[in-house]
Amino acid sequence: MYKIIGADGKEYGPITAKQLHQWIAQGRANETTKIRLEESTEWQTLGSLPEFADALAQPPSLPNLPAAAPPPAKTSGLAITSLVLGLLGLISCGISSLVGLVLGIVSLTQISKSQGRLKGQGLAIAGVVVSAFILLLMAVTVPSALSKAKAKARSVACMSHVQQINFAVIKHIQAHSNTCPPAATWCDTIQGSVFFDTFQCSAGDKAHRCHYAFNAKLDGLSVDQIKSPAQTVLVFEAEGGWNLSGGSELKPKKPRHGRMIAVGFADGHAEMVEETRLPQLQWEP
């Protein structure tokens, strides 16, 4: 039996030679370790005892430690950005979605090559899908919205032209003893009171100098003879022609503003009227 002094300076034992061999193998004792027989008082180094030479010649066995855990995977920043930009496409008319689509594809490539160091594949896929959907949605809706906005602008401009022409005719009436202008020359009569392009609708055929007509029933008539000025047509949108006058038969062959026709009334107001309702308006004074 043996006793030894450990690295902490404390005395251990008695232990058997077998146990000591195990301690040597485990690295708990080496050739400089102090040792003595249990019945002896003389300390020696372990390396001086030949019975332990073979054990000391073997490197100490290391305990089986678990493999170091890999660092946690990081969520791809590009994947997050792709999804955010894709959603923002709803308010950027798809511009940010285009960037989101590209970033989503790039992030998917990076994630697949990262060997587990990057995560966020679901976010990247969502970014690609959302971005592609919004781009498709914008491709369908934006041209339609722009077309509707353009049509609306033309309608408003046409309405403004009718109001200006209406005002010019009424101004002439007031300056000529409340008498309506001659139907055959009404455009010539008022052309000095409006800008020339007022006679044309932006949606009309540019070959025509004027896209509006005068109610022929009011030719040279005194407005005092008009019973219901607010319901009686004074000028209206027509197919086209200078000094054109007549009735509802002169309406555009194809309405320029959906199903609506711009009409000015003898009391000075103007409105958009459905094409089918045009013949039902007050044409007689």
Same domain for 157 and 248, yes or no, is yes
pLDDT at 54: 80
Residues 9 and 82 in one domain: no
Give a yes or no: residue 65 inside a domain.
no
The rounded distance, in Å, linking the Cα atoms of 10 and 34 is 11
Residue 163 lies in a domain: yes
Tell me, yes or no, whether 91 and 112 share the same domain.
Answer: yes
Q: Identity (one letter) of the amino acid at 153? A: A
Token pair listed for 80? 């997050």
- Distance (Å, rounded) from C-alpha 100 to C-alpha 82? 4
Element (H, E) at 36: strand 34-37
Q: What pTM did the predictor assign? A: 0.55
pLDDT at position 43: 86
- Residue 47 falls within a domain, yes or no? yes
CB neighbourhood size of 268 (10 A): 15
Q: Residues 120, 159: one domain? A: no
Handedness of CA 116, 122, 123, 129 (dihedral sign): positive
156 with 276, same domain? yes
Residue 63 phi/psi, 5-degree rounding, is: -65, 150
Residues of the chain with pLDDT under 50: none
Is 233 in the same domain as 169? yes
- Does any domain span residue 194? yes
* Domain endpoint, select from 146, 174, 206: 146
Same structural domain for residues 141 and 217?
no
Compute the distance between CA of residue 249 and CA of residue 213 in angstroms, rounded to an integer. 11
Domain assignment of residue 87, given as a range: 74-146
Question: Are residues 155 and 139 part of one domain?
Answer: no
Model pLDDT, residue 68: 61
Q: What is the pLDDT of residue 207?
A: 93
160, amino acid identity: S
Is the CB of residue 244 less than 8 Å from the CB of residue 210?
Answer: yes
Residue 275 counted as domain residue: yes
- Whether residue 91 is contained in a domain is answered as yes
Task: Give dist(CA 182, CA 179) in Å, integer.
Answer: 9
Any domain includes 97: yes
Are residue 21 and residue 137 in the same domain, yes or no? no
- CB burial of 222-238 (b: ≥16 within 10 Å; e: otherwise) equals ebeebeebeebbbbbbb
Among residues 104, 123, 146, the one where a domain terminates is: 146
Query: Do residue 176 and residue 274 come from a single domain?
Result: yes
* pLDDT tens digits, one per residue of 51-101: 888 877 877 665 555 556 677 888 999 989 989 998 998 888 888 988 988
Residues 180 and 255 in one domain: yes
Please give the pLDDT value at position 42.
Answer: 86
Tally of domains within the chain:
3
Q: How far apart are CA 160 and CA 262, in angstroms?
A: 9
| Residue 265 covered by a domain | yes
* Contact (CB, 8 A) for 119 and 71: no
Instruction: Based on the fold, state whether residues 272 and 157 are members of the same structural domain.
Output: yes
